[in-house]
Amino acid sequence: MTLKSVLQKKVDTFVAESRINSEVIYDKLQNRVIDDFIIPSQLITFTPDYGGVGTIIKEDEDVHIWSLTPNSAYQVADRLGLPQTWCSKGVTGSKYQQESVSFAMNRYIENYAGKDDRFLFRNVGGQVRGFLSTSYKRLNTKEIFLMFITVAEELGLPLVGAYEGSSRDYLEVLDPVIFDIDTPNNGIVSYARGMLLKYSDFGDGKLELRSYWKKAVCLNGAIGHSYLKEIHLGSRLPQEFMFSIETINKDTETRALMVRDAMKYVFSPKALEFESKQICEASETKVELKPMIERLPKLGVSKSETKIVEEILLKHSEDDGIYGNPSMYLFANAVSAMARTANPERSRELQQIAGNFIFTRKPDELL
């Protein structure tokens, strides 16, 4: 059995074990109900109860009590001018932290003087997952994700990853066919290509379609270029709070078609050649490992994660994808090897950081 056939079998086994029934994912999206409310700041107060920090909305005899998530608390802080990380962590912290966050939010919202003093609450099951501007443009996520699944099936790409979080979702497909690249400093790189669709219904990230690479020898993943970036802003919602379903559907249809076209382009020979060249360029770029390690905390890698990256580099094991001379490509592999130990959402964040060391040029250079 040749080395390539061994690696191909390894990728095929990964796909078989990771494969997800797309109908199950779509049913989950179909059953998620998001309730939207436009609420003036004068009606909002915060309380350190109900399992964290909650919002109390009083209007006449009606009282609504909804809990905040770390994401929506971060957004409250951003709107009101409070420290975002402090608020985000405080809503799930100690009783004292929750009381402090609630007190600060109440003081700041009492004096809120924004041009539009109303906020868009996106509520799921009594939980405020998004605390947003009234200019936030809502899309029908189900239709966009269904387009991704449909095109993936047309291209013969199995669904191998799906994540539904409290503030963002993603879908991931992988073509099991292995490609080989002869790199300047890191030997033959065998990898499979895929795509990642990421979106937040709650303002925690843009609609993004990114290329995705999985190295065959170690199954390290690296997230590449974004071929689609959409910021969801529109005109402010009217005072009477009338939603136009027709408008939402038209906006959604446009984005879904953009996803369809971008997916087909990601797997075009031109895009493949462009990203393959960047792998070679990253391998050709020699680096001093110590300064690279010291950079990681500034890029969003925690101290404990940075230590794991350093240990992986010292171990210098082919099982982690670490072989050949020190290069930007080798360093990226150390970060992606560390990402294998993280939870699904954090793993993708780290894989994107790893990909940023390799895929430095933008797709618009292809045009």
pLDDT over 90, % of the chain = 60
CB 137 within 8 A of CB 59: no
On whether both 13 and 48 belong to a single domain, the answer is no
pLDDT at 240 over 70: no
Which among 102, 124, 146 is the end of a domain?
124
**Res 28: pLDDT:** 78
CA–CA separation, 64 vs 305, rounded Å?
A: 41
Which among 95, 124, 153 is the end of a domain?
124
On whether both 18 and 46 belong to a single domain, the answer is no
On whether both 259 and 165 belong to a single domain, the answer is yes
Pairing mode of beta strands 54-59, 44-47: antiparallel
Q: What is the mean pLDDT of residues 57-62?
A: 78
CA–CA separation, 89 vs 208, rounded Å?
A: 26
Averaged confidence pLDDT in the chain: 88
Which of the four pLDDT bands, split at 50, 70 and 90, describes residue 317? very high
pLDDT at 228 over 90: no
User: For 57-66, 168-177, 307-316, which range has the lowest pLDDT when averaged over its residues?
Assistant: 57-66
Q: What is the mean pLDDT of residues 255-275?
A: 89
User: For 69-73, 113-117, 270-274, which range has the lowest pLDDT when averaged over its residues?
Assistant: 113-117
Is residue 132 situated within a structural domain?
A: no
Structure tokens at 332: 């990226």
CB 235 within 8 A of CB 135: yes
**Res 131: pLDDT:** 96
On whether both 73 and 190 belong to a single domain, the answer is no
pLDDT at 246 over 80: no
Q: What is the mean pLDDT of residues 94-113?
A: 93
pLDDT at 77 over 70: yes
Residue type, 326: P
The tokens 């250079």 sit on which residue? 365
What domain range includes position 99?
Answer: 35-124
pLDDT at 108 over 90: yes
pLDDT at 299 over 60: yes
On whether both 145 and 282 belong to a single domain, the answer is yes
Q: What is the mean pLDDT of residues 82-101?
A: 94
Supply φ then ψ for residue 26, to 5 degrees: -65, -40
pLDDT at 233 over 50: no
Is residue 130 situated within a structural domain?
A: no
CA–CA separation, 194 vs 175, rounded Å?
A: 6
Instruction: Give the DSSP H/E element, type plus range, for residue 11.
Output: helix 3-18
**Res 62: pLDDT:** 79
Which of the four pLDDT bands, split at 50, 70 and 90, describes residue 128? very high
pLDDT at 305 over 50: yes
Is residue 231 situated within a structural domain?
A: yes
On whether both 26 and 45 belong to a single domain, the answer is no
Q: Of 116 and 185, which is predicted with more confidence?
A: 185
Q: How many domains, in total, are found in the chain?
A: 2
Cβ neighbour number for residue 140 with a 10 Å cutoff:
18
On whether both 163 and 45 belong to a single domain, the answer is no
Is residue 151 situated within a structural domain?
A: yes
pLDDT at 116 over 90: no
pLDDT at 238 over 70: no
Sheet holding 35-40, edge to edge: 35-40, 118-124, 127-132, 62-68, 54-59, 44-47
Nearest to 46 by CA among 126, 84, 116, 101: 101
Pairing mode of beta strands 62-68, 127-132: parallel
On whether both 5 and 89 belong to a single domain, the answer is no
On whether both 165 and 216 belong to a single domain, the answer is yes
CA–CA separation, 127 vs 101, rounded Å?
A: 17
**Res 206: pLDDT:** 85
pLDDT over 70, % of the chain = 92
**Res 242: pLDDT:** 43
On whether both 345 and 236 belong to a single domain, the answer is yes
Burial (CB count <10 Å: 0-12, 13-18, 19+), residue 365: exposed
SS3 83: coil
Is residue 131 situated within a structural domain?
A: no
**Res 94: pLDDT:** 92
On whether both 235 and 355 belong to a single domain, the answer is yes
On whether both 24 and 49 belong to a single domain, the answer is no
Which among 72, 99, 124 is the end of a domain?
124
